[in-house]
Structure 1
Amino acid sequence: MVGLQERKRALAMGIDYEGPTRATLSGQRFKCVFWGLAAVCAGLVLFLLKIARAIWWKPLQVKRAFEAQGIKGPPYRLFYGNSADISTMIDEQRAKPMPLSHDILPRVLPHYHQWTKTYGQDFIFWFGPHARLVVPHPELIKEILSTKFGNYPRFADDPLSKQLFGQGLAGLTGEKWTRHRKIINPAFHMDLLKGMIPTIVKSCASMLEVWSKLITSGSPEIDVQKEFRDLTSHVIARTAFGSSFAEGKHIFDLQGKQMILALESFRTVYIPGFRFLPTTKNRQRWNVEKEIRRSLRQVIDAREKTDGMKKTGRYGVDLLGFMMSQSKDQMGVNGRSNGGLSTEEIIDECKTFYFAGHETTSLLLTWSIILLGIHQDWQEKGRREALQVCGKNNYPDADNLSRLKIVGMIINEALRLYPPAVFLSRHASEQTKLGKLSIPAGTQFMLPILEIHHDPSLWGSDAKDFNPGRFSEGIAKAAKHPMAFMPFGAGPTICVGQNLALLEAKLVLAMILQKFSFVTSPSYTHAPSLFITLKPEYGAQVIFRMD
């Protein structure tokens, strides 16, 4: 339009107008290309500056802030932090044999052990560009775990490792956590848990019958790690979800694969967007996750169609039933939820409890049997109590369970020496004060449960020895600080399933002591290792005999 007007004006003035020259048009194109490239370059520069700030400038500022307060640690390495050093130290320790000792910290957390000797109890290390402050002081841990103001939430796991638990209680924070916890809590009330005792006893009796046949056939060596995994899988499938053993085992097997895949991501720094690439591992992750969710959805659909639900409108008194009933009760007008859990949220909670519900108890039983196989004096004390309280042929029940004091002490000592989770993680959501320290926003905390459970200043000179007697007057008087014992965490986020885990472990251990004596096998290799939870790396071989 502008060119046409110029041409008309030129003709009116008697001037021959030829329009813009090629040079002019070329110059205009050049300007367009130039400014386009300039915009792209500016965006790229801003992007690179943002990355530089995240992986260099911010870590440098955090490092200086802690050093000014006397907190040091291993040097920060660009992008990866100290993750490669940690992996190397863990691999080196696993390659070495370990004596039959309960001083397991150097093997399980070698980086923590080494850096404590170099930098002192209070130090920072780096996982990627994030600073992790070690907090080994019970009073400060109490402040972190007991706060009601949300200053120290769990920090978000990378999307690959998050698949293991989904968006269940173990990974939620804030209002969503509060809503889920409120719905789930009633399922773990002690009166309801006592109603699960017959199912637990029946499952354990079946396992012990198989053991008896193995012993009489001349095969007394049993890998109890595998046996307890199957047992607790069956128990959690039946008591929490009403599933058949076959359904439960299928889901547990899938979660076992998912745990191996998640473990790989726990030891490496996550690269944003990597989970969307169709690599071999990612395709495996996608397929396993899809199959787990499909299987859990089938369990939920089956519960919807049960006769009991059709007659009463209730879904049962187990964990799944509570979640589904609460969700139905809180369904508002137009079918919209006013606080209940959606089907996908229920699936996420099922994922969490299928994993955590059997993993914690199976490992607690495994380490208890290993410890009693080594320490025959306490095995004999536990057996005498089990026979005195329950008799030779009567199974434990809700009435005599509380009288198994020594069995309870043994379980607590196993949890102290070999806690399923060896540390907890939190982070500072904003700039805050912790004790005398000023904590920059975003700082992550490592709360070393294993170190605190083995600390002689809290437990006495025999802290690394197996001595259930320290719990003879209860947990409160066993150590010098109430936060010295926290195998299930502490504060508002303490594990919701701890009572079920302890009840099941007490029942099963008492039933084993009633029927068998045992010793740790010569083929057993003592190799506690961290595979998300604390496990015997090469199994738990024990030789049994019938009394």
Structure 2
Amino acid sequence: MMILVTVILGGLFVLAFHALVALFLKPRLTRESLRTQGIYGPFPHFFFGNVPEMKSLLQEVHDQSRSQPEASPICHRWPFTLFPHLPKWRNQYGPICLYYRGSKPFLMVQDTEMVKEVSLYTSLDLGKPSYLSKDHGPLFGLGILSSSGPLWAHQRKIIAPQLYLDKVKGMVDLMVESTNTMVRKWEARIDHNEKAVAEIKIDEDLRSLSADIIAKACFGSSYEKGQEIFTKLRFIQKLMSKSTVGIPGLRYLPTRSNREIWALDKEISSMIKRLVNQRLMVGNKQDLMQMIMEGATKCNEDGGGDDLLSNPISRDKFIVDNCKNIYFAGQETTAITVSWALMLLAEHQDWQDRCRAEVLQVCGNGTFDATMLRSLKTVTMVIQETLRLYPPATFVIRSALQDIKLKRISIPKGMNIQIPIPLLQQDPELWGPDANMFNPQRFANGIMEACKTPQAYLPFGIGARICAGQHFAMAELKVILSLILLRFQFSLSSSYRHSPAFRLVIEPGEGVVLMVRRI
């Protein structure tokens, strides 16, 4: 009995010691190390970090907005209302500062020189933070969006070549076919209205469209087959956007939200496995799904390169996690960007007219093919400006997997580096006095001429980990916008409420509602 008590007490002592190190000693040593290098930040609570202050600042913004008369319905300064701690701490502590989300340290970087260095960093010592595969595991797992080291390199080698521009051009006909199906539904809704105009809340239609395109292009199936997967991933995304990253042990607690997430994750994994088994029965198709399946087999046979001895991943998990990543990234971000672009063109009729004139000139006979993509200069400028004002991803996140140096600053292993995309992309010092305004003309001579520091434009990320699907996304955005402009004239409905919301991505909080007419 005494031995059992001794063992239990010893275990409790070890746990208490590790908690002391993690919650007190390590954060203090990290702060002191960075302070000697001129890096400061708000003092953290030992358990919650700076989360209470972040929530307090956000509440202040909400209270102020409720007490003030309603301003112009469209204001693009949403980063300052959704993330008020970012500009406040920059003003207080400088463009590089340290803060904590729970026990996790974040080096917030708005210094363009350090952003450049991150973009040029090629070593695998700078990867993705572990919380993406743990706290957000049901959404990302160990797929290409969240893995690091040789495992990520193996995944990138499999997935990226399937999304190169030459492959994407072969998918344009498929994009056109899917978009025309949605366009015909909108035409039918207009034709059933006596006034020849329909009020359409476009968001779900665009999600279904982008889901159909990614499913057919990458997995050889239609949206209907993967509809449940897309829907359940959307539920997980909404649930996870409400959780706080970094609070120790939070993801293990059987809260109502966590139980829902665990159940959804189990269902999604089962559905993807069924799709894989069905795929095995129909034989070999040279698409992304096939490459992921072959890559998983190779990963399982050779131990995943050099990585799986320390980071094991089964064949099933490799396939499931990467399919989840592609479903999420391929559907959600594209649909949201089209929603924002149509909202901006509805508000700015002059740019809508310019884009339509260009589309009519390029494909006036109603046909659309891959050769036309390069000729859509004005449409491209509008897409680039949309991604500048409303980038789907809010942060570029990296984690130091070893002690590293950036801008002569020693960054300890385990430090998370956070680059706030919207603040850099709306910085007047970089973009000029109209940085908070919609002005696609700034991209007339390309990204290099649009901004003082081109590295400050990063809607697809930066460096070695830049989005593998950026060519696919740009082609898809051009196709969808062009075919809509070719068939419809649209304006904002009086019921539209401009309310950008953070749900892991930046999306229209109450949707985009348009008044749509046939041309």
Q: TM-score, normalised by structure 2?
A: 0.91
Instruction: State the distance in 1 between where 2:451 and 2:119 align.
Output: 19
What secondary structure does 2:490 align onto?
strand
Structure 1 residue 419, shift from structure 2 partner: 0.4
- Out of 299, 322, 331, the position equivalent to 1:358 is 331
- Counterpart of 1:173, as a letter, is S
**1:147 — aligned with what?**
121
Note closer, same or farther for the CA distance 1:52–1:382 as it changes in structure 2 (3 Å cut): same
Tell me the SS of whatever aligns to 1:476. Answer: helix
Check whether the contact 1:258–1:285 (CA below 8 A) recurs between aligned residues.
yes
Distance in 2, Cα, partners of 1:41 & 1:297: 45
From 217, 220, 230, give the equivalent of 1:252: 230
Match of 2:23 in 1: 55
- Distance in 2, Cα, partners of 1:286 & 1:103: 36
The match for 1:161 is 136
CA distance in 1 between partners of 2:142 and 2:340 (Å): 30
2:99 matched residue in structure 1 = 125
Q: Which has the higher contact order (CA 8 A, sep 6+)?
A: 2
What residue identity is the alignment partner of 1:524? Answer: Y
Give the Å deviation of 1:77. Answer: 0.4
Give the drift of 1:91: 5.0
Gapped runs of 5+ residues in structure 1?
1-31, 310-314
Report Cα offsets for 1:277-317 as digits up to 9, x if no partner.
544333322221111111111111111111xx2xxxxx223
1:523 to 489, 492, 495: 495
| Residue 438 (structure 2) pairs with residue 478 (structure 1) | no
Say which of 241, 258, 262 aligns to 1:282: 258
CA RMSD of aligned residues (A): 2.3
Deviations for 1:87-124, whole angstroms, at most 9, x for unmatched residues? 34345545636641112221221221222233332222
Pairing 1:75–2:47 present: no
Query: Which residue identity lines up with residue 293 of structure 1 in the other structure?
Result: S
Equivalence for 1:296 = 272
Contact 2:131 2:245 in 1 (8 A): no
Amino acid at match of 1:129: S
Sequence identity, in percent?
35
Match of 2:88 among 79, 104, 114: 114
- Cα distance in 1, alignment partners of residues 146 and 480 from structure 2: 30
SS of 2:42's equivalent in the other structure is coil
1-side partners of 2:436 and 2:338: how far apart?
19
What CA deviation, in whole Å up to 9, does each residue of 1:172-215 have, x standing for no partner?
A: 10010111111112211222211211111111111111111222
In the alignment, is the contact (CA less than 8 A) between 1:527 and 1:536 conserved in 2?
Answer: yes
Residue ranges of structure 2 left out of the alignment (5+ in a row) = 306-313
CA distance in 2, matches of 1:322, 1:41: 52
The match for 1:211 is: 186
**TM-aligned CA deviation for residue 146 of structure 1:** 2.8
Task: Specify the SS of the correspondent of 2:126.
Answer: coil
SS class of match (1:164)? helix
Q: Pairwise mapping of residues 232-271 of structure 1 onto structure 2 (< 5 A)?
A: 232-265=210-243, 267-271=244-248
Question: Distance in 2 between the 1:177 and 1:185 partners?
Answer: 11
Report the more deviating stretch, 42-51 or 297-306: 42-51
CA distance in 1, matches of 2:8, 2:147: 39
Normalized against structure 1, the TM-score is what?
A: 0.86
**Map of 2:198 onto structure 1:** 220
Choose 1 or 2 for highest CA Rg.
Answer: 1
Q: Is the 8 A contact 2:179 2:209 kept in 1?
A: yes
- Please point out which of 181, 186, 192 is paired with 2:161: 186
Return the alpha-carbon distance in structure 2 between the equivalents of residues 162 and 216 of structure 1. 45
Task: Within 5 Å, give how 1:420-431 maps onto structure 2.
Answer: 420-431=392-403
Q: Which of 292, 295, 303 is residue 323 of structure 1 equivalent to?
A: 292
- Please report how far the alpha carbon of residue 269 of structure 1 lies from its aligned counterpart in structure 2 after TM superposition: 3.3
**Contact kept? 1:161, 1:263, Cα under 8 Å:** no
2:448 aligned counterpart, secondary structure? coil
Confirm or deny: 8 A CA contact 2:125 2:149 kept in the other structure: no
Report the equivalent of 1:383.
Answer: 356
Contact 1:165/1:352 (8 A) holds in 2? yes
1:388 & 1:170 partners in 2: Cα distance? 39
Asked if the contact 1:417/1:450 (under 8 Å) is kept, the reply is yes
Per the TM alignment, residue 75 of structure 1 is displaced from its structure 2 partner at its CA by 1.7
Distance 1:212 1:92, change over 3 A: farther
Q: 2:346 aligns with which of 373, 385, 403?
A: 373
The equivalent residue for 1:6 is none
CA distance in 2, matches of 1:447, 1:298: 38
Say yes or no: does 1:200 pair with 2:202: no
**Preserved contact between residue 453 and residue 484 of structure 1 (Cα < 8 Å):** yes
Amino acid at match of 1:385: E
